[in-house]
Structure 1
Amino acid sequence: MGAGVLSETETITVARDGLTLSGVLARHYREVISGACEQVWSLNQDLARKGAEIPRGTVLIVPVKDALTTDTTNSKVTGLFD
């Protein structure tokens, strides 16, 4: 099953300065996908050390679009001031 995990991910390189993770992913997937950031954080454990803006040249491991978990049946959206 380990080989399946590798085929469900790909690497991307951040090409612009000033992008947050959600911005990088929105550009990569060409849409905003709920839960994508959380999945990328789990694949890139050291990403938090880079700060809010991902430096240009950073290589990220991301799920391929079809492998993203999009089950939102039991998820609750929480606002900034909730």
Structure 2
Amino acid sequence: WNFKELASFIEYKAALAGVPVIYVDPKETSKTCPKCGNVSRYNRKIQGWFKCVKCGYQSDADRVGAINIAAKALDALGA
């Protein structure tokens, strides 16, 4: 599947279920600390692991990216 086809399928299924689809800019979501907001490439010294150089928060890098994308989506909804 290419991205456009996948997006259309997701939008279709979401509409059937009454679920909104929100697209957010993923820029820097894997380099931004979800606890303190610090953005630094040094937060990702190790592939797959996130450690904030400012507050010390640590987690799996994919989890951090997902948390930050979810936060952007909630902001877009005004939640």
* TM-score band, normalised by shorter chain: under 0.3
TM-score by length of 1: 0.25
- Quick check: which has more Rg, 1 or 2? 2
Which has the larger share of helix? 2
Q: Which has the higher contact order (CA 8 A, sep 6+)?
A: 1
Alignment TM-score, normalising by the size of structure 2: 0.26
